[in-house]
Each structure stands twice: as structure tokens, then as C-alpha cells.
Structure 1
Amino acid sequence: MKIIRANKMGFCFGVSGAINLCENISEDRKLYDKTYILGMLVHNKNVVKDMEKKGFITISEEDLLLKKVKFNKKDLIIIRAHGTTEEIYDILKRSEIKIIDATCIFVKKIRETLIEEEKNGKEIIFIGDKNHPEVKGIVSFGMHVNVLAGYEEFLNFKVETNKKYCLLTQTTLNKEMFFKIKKKIENNYENIEIFSKICGATHERQIAVEKLAREVDIILIVGDLASSNTRKLYDLSKSINSRSYLIQNKNELKKEWLKNIETIGITAGASTPEKIILEIEKDIRGNFDDKHGL
């Protein structure tokens, strides 16, 4: 059995930056009374558990809104890679706590564009998951943002000819969906300006999984179920290779998937640690080989 990795997979720049930041801070824990992380640092439960083992305390936006946490001058809070809402930023700025913002640079760019384009008089059309923390955070900085889930909702959106619009997207939006919307706009609307802000790493990983899905018998997509980019990798792979499986760790690997196959592909979401991928590969080689009846 041959294991083939996607040529682009695993940690992206934003995730690596957020984790490295926390690793560095954990070495200087004596500088602070308590160290907090706002929400899941990245969308992977294993990463969150590792951070908690290092002494970080995970809190939610709700904890801050309901005033369940009290800070002092010697406390520190790290804002997760997905960012947060304008209201939460304001609450933190009014407190005494030291703030370090680990928001991904691509998320920050989208947020800045939204604010700037609204100042220029444009109405915002945002394509993404309205329940995702990245989207909630970005759109909170706008006065009136139309959040649309995808192509079908965009088709049903009424574009007024006397208005100017700016179209923005979630960083992990499916690139094929974006291209469909882009083509529709270019062929029908002159008053919608498109800002393509899909993360470059996300795009690369989507292209890589499409290629790999065509080359292997089965493909494993490794990542947390809460990860938007992991789910999109799975959806893309599944559309090409019916034997695509989304798993979070080696315990979810099933022996029957590997019967009578010669090649197995592996890719991973942008928040998936390398050690989880290695554990799955090791488990395949050690427990799912010919010695065990496959």
C-alpha cells in the first residue's frame, strides 16, 4: 500500500503564527498572572488541549459579554487566529488586560477593506458562513452587511442599480463557488466591485486535494469537524473521489476502507498538527498491512 500526501497540506501561515506566538509566551509565563486565549486559538481540539496543558485558559466571547471573567494588569489575552467582533475588542480595550492579537493577516485585510469600502459609500456583499467566528468578527465592523451563504443566495439577492457594492468573501470560501459568483457579476453587473480575499494557502490546498483525489484509490482528509477549510477540502475531494473520508485522528480510521486498495491519499486542514498526520500514517503502516489480513 502506497501513502501519498497532497503537495500542500497542514498548517497555514496564520495558524503557525498563532501557535508559535503562544509557544513563545508560554516560556515567559512568569511575566503574567494568568494567560487567556479568546475562543479556540485555531479550529482544532488537539491544539486547544495542548495550549491548556501549557497553562492557557480558554474563554469565550459570551464570558466577556456576561462579565464572567475579571482581569488585572498582570493578565494577558491572545485573540485567536479567526479574530473577534468589534464589541469584544472594545470590551478588552476598556479592561486592564494586556492584549496580543493573533488574528490572521488575511482576516485583517478583509476587515480593513470592509471598513474602507463602507466609508467610500459602498454596500457590502459578504459570501461566507454567517455562523463562523471569522465571518461574525469581520461583519461586526460594518454598518450594514449582506451575508450570503453561497451562489444560490447570491442569485436571489436583489442588486439595486442605483447603488455601488463591494463583494468580499470568507478566507476559506470554495474557490469554484467564488469563480461562479465572479463570472455572474462580470456578465451582469457593473456596480459590484470584487475583492478576492480567499487565503492563498486555502486555494493551494484546494487545488492539491483535487489533483490527489484523482490519483489515489481512497483519500483521507484529516482535521477538526469545526474547521471550515477542512470541510471544504472534504467536499471538493468527495465530488471527485467517492472514497473520501474526513477523520479527526487515528481512532476514526476504519479497516474496511483500506481493503483491496493500492494507493491512499492524505491531506489535512490548515489547523491540523503534523503529529496527528504522522500518527495516522504510522497506524496505516503498522495495523492495516498484509500481516493483518488486508
Structure 2
Amino acid sequence: MEIIRAKKMGFCFGVRGAIRTCHRVSETENNKKYILGMVVHNKHVVKSLEELGFSVVEERDLLENKDNLKPGDIVVVRAHGTTKAVYDILKERDVIIYDAACIFVTKIRDILLEEKAKGNRIIFIGDKEHPEVKGIISFGENVIIYKDLEELKNGELDSNINYSLLTQTTYNKDKFAEIKEYLESNWPNVQIFDRICGATYERQKAAEDLAKNVDIVIIVGDKNSSNSKKLFEISKKHNENSYLVQDETEIDLSWFKGQERIGITAGASTPEDIIINIENKIRGNF
């Protein structure tokens, strides 16, 4: 049996940067420390940061005035960013803000503000329930959200309105290409911005290549992680024996019977030690 890792997998620079920010804060700051929600979408990472002394403050508690923040407390804003309303509340609370929002997220947000200032209507492609999407679109007005090409085609665009199209940073690059082709052929009044994270695309392409060349693929990532779920979808498309697991406890050893080439990839929020634990469990039983 051979275990083969995807060429690109695991922590992206945005996640790594957010975690480094938390570690730096834990080493240099003595005030009460909070993480705004899940700093990254992985429960193991959040638990490790809680062990460093961080508490979690939820956005809904801030919005409902049910938080315990005091002036001078420290709040690390997660890699996905947050909504304009929450940023405003944090400033009103007079807390010390460490904004660990990924640069790709802040770039899209800046473009949205620029295009809004021009008077363009904003179209956003992504998961409207994802915190990254909620955060970015909160800086706009009457943003139109579609989850995919099918929804976009069924939408009601107006040829007399100038639109600007933005996407979730982790959106599937191939699906985005289909959307771009459709719009360029049918709606020349839509300006398209491709700001999908390069690391996301590299991981998606590596997962596809891996799935085509192994007997089984294990995708390691949190079940709430958008990019992990997309890696699973891509892998499943090319290899029916694809499984998304959060850690070694979810591994079913029966999956590996008769399999010779085991592929492993991981979402951008997945720690290396979780990946190693899974590899060790497989090697220890076969």
C-alpha cells in the first residue's frame, strides 16, 4: 500500500497568517483575548487557540448586545472577515482589534466598495450563508447573490444596468469559467472580476489530479469548511472512493481493503498533525 499526498494541500497563507496573529497576540498581550467566531473553519485549530487563553465571542452576541467585551479587550477578527455592522460594534466597544482577514477577502471587499462608488450594481457568486460572503456583501447595497450558473441564468439581469461581478474566494475555478463564458457571450454590461484565491485553485487542481491517479482519496477537513467540501466534490467527480473526514476518528478501515494507492489531500484550514494522525492510522493497520 502506498500513501500519496496531493502536491498542494493543507494550510494556505491566509489561514497560516491568522493563526500566527493569534500566537503573536498570546505572546505579547496580557489583556483578555477573544477570537471572533471560528478564526478558521477547523474545530481542532480553534481548540488549540482556546488552550492559549483565547475565548470565542460570537457575532450574534455582539449584534444582540449579549457579549462580555470590555474596553481594552483584544479581538482577533477571523480569516473570513466579518460584517460591517460587527466591525462598527467592535470600534464602539473600544477594544483592540487585530484584523486577520485574508488579503483575498479584503481585496474583494475593496473592489465592491469601488464598484459601488461608481454606481454599478453588484452581483456576487457564492454561498450566501458563508461568513466570508456575508461579511463582504454587507459593505454593499442590494447585492444580488447567486450560488451558481443555473441561478444566474434564471435571474433577472437588465441590459441597461452596469453590473460588477465578484465571487467567493473559494469558488470552484472551473465553474467560474463557465459563468464567465456565459456572461461574456450574453451580458456585455457585466464587468467580471476574477479574485478567486490562487491557493484555492492550486488545491482544487491538485485534488483533481490526485483523484485520477489513486484508488481512494481521503479529504481531511472540517465539515463546515467551504474549501474542504469543494475539494471533496472535485475528488468525488473523478473518484467514487472519496471520503471527507475531520480527523482519524472518522476513518473507516474497511475503505482501504484491496486498495493499493491511497490519496490524501486537506482543506486550507487543516493542521498538519491531523493529517499525520490519519496517515499513521492507515499505515498502522495495513
Normalised by the length of structure 2, the TM-score is 0.98
AA paired with 2:154? N
Match of 2:89 among 80, 91, 99: 91
Secondary structure at the residue paired with 2:179?
helix
Alignment deviations for residues 105-156 of structure 1 (CA, whole Å, 9 cap, x no partner): 0000000000110111110110000000000000000011001111110111
Residues 123 and 166 in structure 1, CA contact (< 8 A), matched pair in contact too: yes
Letter in 2 for 1:208: A
- Within 2, Cα distance between the matches of 1:135 and 1:97? 24
Give the corresponding residue for 1:72. Answer: 70
Whether 1:246 aligns to 2:249 is: no
Distance 1:70 1:82 in 2: 22
The aligned amino acid for 1:151 is L
Note the C-alpha offset of 1:28. 2.2
The TM-score normalised by the length of structure 1 is: 0.96
Q: Distance in 1 between matches of 2:80 and 2:106?
A: 9
The number of equivalent residue pairs is: 286
Would the aligned equivalents of 1:71 and 1:96 in 2 still touch at CA under 8 Å?
A: no
Q: Which residue of 1 aligns with 2:185?
A: 187
Tell me the equivalent position of 1:292.
none
Instruction: Report the counterpart of residue 103 of structure 2 in structure 1.
Output: 105
Shift of 1:226: 0.3
**Aligned equivalents of 1:87 and 1:102: distance in 2?**
17
Q: Which runs of 5+ in 1 are unaligned?
A: 290-294
Please state how far the C-alpha of 1:21 moved relative to its aligned partner: 0.8
Which digits, 9 at most, give the CA deviation of each residue in 1:175-198, with x for residues without a partner?
Answer: 111011001011111100000011
Question: Quick one: which amino acid aligns to residue 198 of structure 2?
Answer: G
Percent identity for Structure 1 against Structure 2? 56
Distance in 2, Cα, partners of 1:71 & 1:148: 35
- Structure-1 separation of matches of 2:224 and 2:59: 17
* Cα offset, 1:81, TM superposition: 0.5
SS for the counterpart of 1:270 is coil
Deviation at 1:62, TM superposition (A): 0.9
- SS of residue in 1 equivalent to 2:269: coil
What is the Cα deviation at residue 26 of structure 1?
A: 1.1
Q: Secondary structure at the match of 1:204?
A: helix
> Aligned equivalents of 2:29 and 2:106: distance in 1?
27
SS at match of 1:277: helix
| 3-state SS of 1:271 partner | coil
1:209 Cα deviation from its structure 2 partner: 0.5
Q: Distance in 1 between matches of 2:11 and 2:233?
A: 19
SS of structure 2 residue aligned to 1:190: coil
SS at match of 2:208: helix
Match of 2:222 in 1: 224
Rounded to whole Å, the distance in 1 between the matches of 2:72 and 2:103 is 27
Shift of 1:74: 2.9
Q: What is the DSSP-based 3-state SS (H/G/I as helix, E as strand, rest coil) of the residue aligned with 2:110?
A: helix
Shift in Å, 1:219? 0.4
Contact 1:39 1:58 survives alignment (8 Å):
yes
Q: Deviations over 1:262-283 (max 9, x none)?
A: 1000000000000000000011
